[in-house]
Amino acid sequence: MLKNSTQSKLPKEKILQTAYRLFGERSLEDVSVRELAKEANVNISSINYYYGSKEELYLAVVNNITEMMAQRANEFTSAFNAAQKDAVASDAFYIYWLKHLLEMIARLIIGRLKENNYLHRIIIREQMTPSKGFELLYQQGLEPILTIIDDLIARISQQAMTSPDVRARTHTLLGQIVIFSVQQITIMQRMPFLEEDQEENMDIIIRTILENTEYILWGLVSKRDQA
């Protein structure tokens, strides 16, 4: 029974993985059901059977991304709450955990520069040309992470989480990751040494993002204390 159950999942998983790649490369409108079936090596009827339609398949891809992001947010929240029990609240404590969160997001979204990272392409496309998947992506994937960053910046700046300054700083910090994500080809042209050791040299980018973050946040502390 278990064997049959596993076998029945294989076509569904193949379709989802193929859709992840094709929708990462091109928009929903530019990918046909016939192409999806051909690339996944399944019948067109299998797509309708497992997902109902191309649009529902795309939403399944977006849902897969949101679940991944929500899982990271939950893991961070659990670790942060546990750390708070034994720590003294301080600027250094909040800055440390904010950097930790940004590193986690960067490694998830940027990935290895040499590999095609379809996750960030879908996320960015939904920002530029929202589809029905945007609300799902925003409410269940992006908003939980944005709220955590808002909260940490608000604690450091001693401002309300919903203040324009806090929200602007949240998106500024995340913007660093987005820039490295969308400029991967340019980066490889200007920094060809990154191809030599993907893991080690990815740390150069992560370290730069975290250093910038630290400068910004300690500058915020200084500005707050001078007010």
Residue 112 has a pLDDT of 56
- 33 and 113 housed in the same domain: no
Q: Provide mean pLDDT across the span 211-219.
A: 96
Same-domain check for residues 46 and 99: no
Residue 19 has pLDDT above 70, yes or no: yes
Residue 133 scores a pLDDT above 50: yes
What percent of the chain shows pLDDT beyond 70? 89
Structure tokens at 85: 């029990």
Which is it for the CA torsion 19, 23, 29, 35, positive or negative? negative
66-70 average pLDDT score: 92
Same domain membership, residue 149 and residue 109: yes
Same-domain check for residues 159 and 63? yes
The answer to whether residues 204 and 126 belong to one domain is yes
Q: Exposed, middle or buried by CB within 10 Å (0-12, 13-18, 19+), for 15? A: buried
Q: Quote the number of domains for the chain.
A: 2
Asked if residue 34 has pLDDT above 50, the reply is yes
Q: 120 falls in which pLDDT band (50, 70, 90)?
A: confident
Examine the fold and report which residue of 29, 52, 75 is the final residue of a domain before the chain moves on: 52
Is the per-residue pLDDT at 134 higher than 80?
Answer: yes
Percent of the chain residues topping a pLDDT of 90: 69
Average pLDDT of span 161-167: 96
| 48/131 same-domain check | no
| Residue 34, SS3 per DSSP | helix
In which band, very low, low, confident or very high, does the pLDDT at 113 lie, cut at 50, 70 and 90? Answer: low
Residue 34, domain extent: 1-52
Same domain, 46 and 75: no
Q: How confident is the model at residue 187 (pLDDT cuts 50, 70, 90)?
A: confident
CATH number for the domain that contains residue 62:
1.10.357.10
Q: Are residues 62 and 109 in the same domain?
A: yes
Residue 7 pLDDT: 46
State the average pLDDT for the chain.
88
H helices then E strands: how many in the chain? 11, 0
Same domain? 34 vs 126: no
Q: Are 43 and 15 in contact (CB under 8 A)?
A: no
pLDDT (mean) for 142-158: 96
pLDDT over 70 at 196, yes or no = no
Of 134, 78, 145, which is closest to residue 108 (Cα–Cα)? Answer: 145
The angle at the Cα of 203, spanning 201 to 205, to the nearest 5 degrees, equals 85
Measured in degrees and rounded to the nearest 5, phi and psi for residue 217 equal -70, -40
**Residue 24 belongs to domain with CATH number:** 1.10.10.60
State pTM to two decimals.
Answer: 0.88
Mean pLDDT of 80-103: 95
- Last residue within a domain, chosen from 37, 52, 67: 52
Question: Do 15 and 108 fall into the same domain?
Answer: no
Q: Do 90 and 101 touch, CB atoms closer than 8 A? A: no
- State the average pLDDT over residues 67-76: 93
Closest-CA residue to 70 (of 131, 17, 62): 62
Compute CA distances 36 → 15, 53, 55, 205, 225, whole Å: 7, 11, 12, 35, 57
Residue 5 has pLDDT above 80, yes or no: no
DSSP string, 178-191: HHHHHTHHHHHHH-
Residues 42 and 74 occupy one common structural domain: no
Residue 4 above 50 pLDDT? Answer: no
In angstroms, how far apart are the furthest CA atoms of the chain?
68
Same domain as 42, residue 68: no
In 10 A of CB 169, how many CB atoms?
Answer: 21
